[in-house]
Amino acid sequence: MSNKRILIIDDEPGIRQIVKISLQAIAGWEVLLASSGQEGLAIAQLETPDAIILDVMMPGMDGIETLQRIQAIGSIASIPVILLTAKAQTSEQVQFSKLEIAGVITKPFKAPDLVKQMRSLLGWHEKT
């Protein structure tokens, strides 16, 4: 069984920890953490994770800009990205629907649901 590696890019330490603990405890995935879009880009290129969870609202380079930069770099452009957002208004949903992303997960979330949603969005089965 190959262990999945997930990169979490979120400026909130609390969210990073909750997501990390959830993914490790429930799915047994390896988790990489980045506190900014800039740091996330560097880690993604270095580590080539299986998927990226990307917070939309971040200071400096926000999630959408980070996503565009990820997709502009050939070596990491194909990594599936899931956006993490607290706001799911219609206007944002329309904007998200135009992006090449694996999906959107809204905050707040429950740990078991997070893993289920990720598996569903990424097409991963229980054992992966």
* Domain residue ranges of the chain, discontinuous segments joined by +: 5-122
Q: Does 59 sit behind a cis peptide bond, omega within 30 degrees of 0 on the bond before it?
A: no
Burial of 53 (0-12, 13-18, 19+ CB in 10 A): buried
Instruction: Work out the pLDDT band at 120, boundaries 50, 70, 90.
Output: very high
- 109 pLDDT higher than 50: yes
Q: Beta-carbon neighbour count of residue 98 at 10 Å?
A: 7
State the number of CA atoms in the 13 A half-sphere of 79 facing the CB.
33
Q: Are 51 and 122 in contact (CB under 8 A)?
A: yes
Q: Which fold has domain 5-122?
A: Rossmann fold (3.40.50)
Instruction: Work out the pLDDT band at 2, boundaries 50, 70, 90.
Output: low
**Vertex 108, ends 127 and 51: CA angle to 5°?**
40
